[in-house]
Amino acid sequence: SEPLPLTPESLKVSINSTCQCLNLQWSVHNLPYHQELQIIVQIQISRIKTSNVVWVGNYSTTVKRNQVLHWSWESELPLECATHFVRIRSVMDDAKFPELKSWSKWSSWEEVDVQDSLGHDTFFLFPKDKLVEEGSNVTFCYISRSNQNNISCYLEGIQVHVEQLAPNVSTFHLSRVPFVRPKGTNIFCDVTQGEDPKGTILYVSKVLEELKDFSCETRDLKTLNCTWDPGSDTALEIQPSQSYTLFESFSQKKKVCKHRNWCTWQVSQDSQEMYHFTLMAENYLRKRTVHLVFKLTHRVRPMTPLNFFLENINSTNATMTWKVHPIGNSTFLCQVELHHDGQIIQQNKVFMEMNGKYLLSEMEPDTHYLARVRCAYGNHFWKWSEWIGRKFTTLEAAPLAAL
């Protein structure tokens, strides 16, 4: 039967200079069936002249009658520096029509040329103030409308190798560009003797690193404190530092964090037990996310104990007392230590509620000691609190009864 007329129509091509993208838009009109069909679209892109094809690729998509399709292509060469030509064709790729397997006709070539809109200067260098990640490859090009031929270009003062692309267009290529400074890398071309060089800045951003050591804990079951290792700051003159956002899946709540490496989160009143956090770091060039799922009561780290006292100190014994900040009606596991000359000489663990008490015994008379305590959440151990303690000296031994 007659091949299906899938010839793409009303192809329009526009330019996004910042991303060096050709944006295509087209539609396929005379589709006889009111269904969604699977098709393959082949795209050809030429530069300077139609015969000079620089890119061919296929794009699979579904299409309905009169639907407008969109597709985008990023050019390694700044689009200002050459005329580009685009044409497309398509073929049915639908299991429902195995027999219809022939390519449509090509659309006519769509030409895209911005050189006319550049203005009256005699020299242009592109891209202008481009932002890329460290390690990227960047192609620069210049358009010289007056016939200077000994134009030389420099990267941070060091001359680069230039290649001619067209009679008034030349290019130079930078591989794996390094981060140099927040104010960007200096690139310029000496065009005319005695005149100012023409230049631009290449903003090279450090790569936004994977988020490491993401962890959350609470000290009071009211506020969660999340911390992470942010890696290097990717701020540039034209790019703010990366932003950090916490998103909690169960409550669907989100918070933009003010600090680079920590953020607080208010525990919800509806006694939500499980938390699924997504931490997202983002700058203009990249996003990084990391996930953390935990039970709230498994991430409790009590605050430092308080009101620590040493009572009834005599030549061999002393009594330690302390309090803890209550967390719900939990019990606490506390660890007590006795140090002498920097050595732990006694260590023990006690369970307690709000008020702790421990008898230190078998000490030496008239001797300097350090006693300290720290506590952990009794329901589920996560981390110890910080220590609290005191130095003290046991009393001298009581004189033996007179012989």
Query: Toward another protein, which CB reaches closer, 181 or 391?
Result: 181
Q: Are 246 and 277 in contact (CB under 8 A)?
A: yes
Beta bridge partners of 53: 46
Q: Are 139 and 155 in contact (CB under 8 A)?
A: no
Interaction of residue 73 with another protein, rule CB under 8 A: no
**DSSP code string of 5-59:** ----EEEEEEEETTTTEEEEEEE----SSSS-EEEEEEEEEEESSTT-EEEEEEE
Q: Which of 233, 172, 165 is nearest to 200 (CA)?
A: 172
Question: How far is Cα of residue 314 from the mean position of the Cα atoms in its chain?
Answer: 60
Direct distance between the N- and C-terminal alpha carbons of the chain, in angstroms, rounded to an integer: 129
Q: How far is CA 60 from CA 28, 45, 312, 344, in A?
A: 14, 17, 84, 71
Q: How far is CA 16 from CA 27, 78, 85, 178, 335, in A?
A: 21, 10, 15, 25, 64
Query: Toward another protein, which CB reaches closer, 18 or 164?
Result: 18
In the complex, minimum distance from the CB of residue 174 to another protein, in angstroms, rounded to a whole number: 14
In the complex, minimum distance from the CB of residue 116 to another protein, in angstroms, rounded to a whole number: 22
Query: Toward another protein, which CB reaches closer, 105 or 181?
Result: 181
In the complex, minimum distance from the CB of residue 156 to another protein, in angstroms, rounded to a whole number: 4
In the complex, minimum distance from the CB of residue 161 to another protein, in angstroms, rounded to a whole number: 16
Q: Which of 83, 148, 186, 243 binds another protein (CB under 8 A)?
A: 186
Interaction of residue 121 with another protein, rule CB under 8 A: no
Q: Are strands 131-133 and 198-205 parallel, antiparallel or unpaired?
A: parallel
Q: Which of 111, 121, 129, 364 binds another protein (CB under 8 A)?
A: 129
In the complex, minimum distance from the CB of residue 143 to another protein, in angstroms, rounded to a whole number: 17
Query: Toward another protein, which CB reaches closer, 131 or 169?
Result: 131
Q: Which range in 4-12, 59-67, 84-92, 149-157 contacts another protein by CB under 8 A?
A: 149-157
Query: Toward another protein, which CB reaches closer, 34 or 120?
Result: 120
Site map for another protein, 189-218, x if CB under 8 A?
Answer: -x---xxxx-xxx-----------------
User: For the purposes of burial, counting CB atoms within 10 Å of the CB of 220, is it exposed (0-12), middle (13-18) or buried (19 or more)?
Assistant: middle
Site map for another protein, 33-72, x if CB under 8 A?
Answer: ----------------------------------------
In the complex, minimum distance from the CB of residue 319 to another protein, in angstroms, rounded to a whole number: 57
In the complex, minimum distance from the CB of residue 145 to another protein, in angstroms, rounded to a whole number: 19
The SS3 of residue 116 is helix
In the complex, minimum distance from the CB of residue 115 to another protein, in angstroms, rounded to a whole number: 20
Interaction of residue 113 with another protein, rule CB under 8 A: no
Burial 178-188 (b: 16+ CB within 10 A, else e): ebeebebbebb
Residues 237-296 touching another protein, rule: CB under 8 A, are: 237-238
Beta bridge partners of 92: 39
Q: Which of 163, 169, 162 is nearest to 147 (CA)?
A: 169
Alpha carbon distance 77, 360 (integer Å)? 78
In the complex, minimum distance from the CB of residue 192 to another protein, in angstroms, rounded to a whole number: 11
Cβ-based neighbours of 384, under 8 Å, separated by 6 or more = 301, 335, 374, 375, 376
Interaction of residue 119 with another protein, rule CB under 8 A: no
Query: Toward another protein, which CB reaches closer, 79 or 187?
Result: 187
Alpha carbon distance 363, 346 (integer Å)? 10
Q: Which of 78, 184, 230, 302 binds another protein (CB under 8 A)?
A: 184
Alpha carbon distance 210, 214 (integer Å)? 11
Q: Which range in 183-191, 258-266, 269-277, 395-403 contacts another protein by CB under 8 A?
A: 183-191
In the complex, minimum distance from the CB of residue 20 to another protein, in angstroms, rounded to a whole number: 18
In the complex, minimum distance from the CB of residue 199 to another protein, in angstroms, rounded to a whole number: 4
Query: Toward another protein, which CB reaches closer, 26 or 126?
Result: 126
Q: Total number of residues binding another protein (CB under 8 A)?
A: 22
Q: Which residues lie near another protein (CB under 8 A)?
A: 129, 154-158, 181, 183-184, 186-188, 190, 194-197, 199-201, 237-238
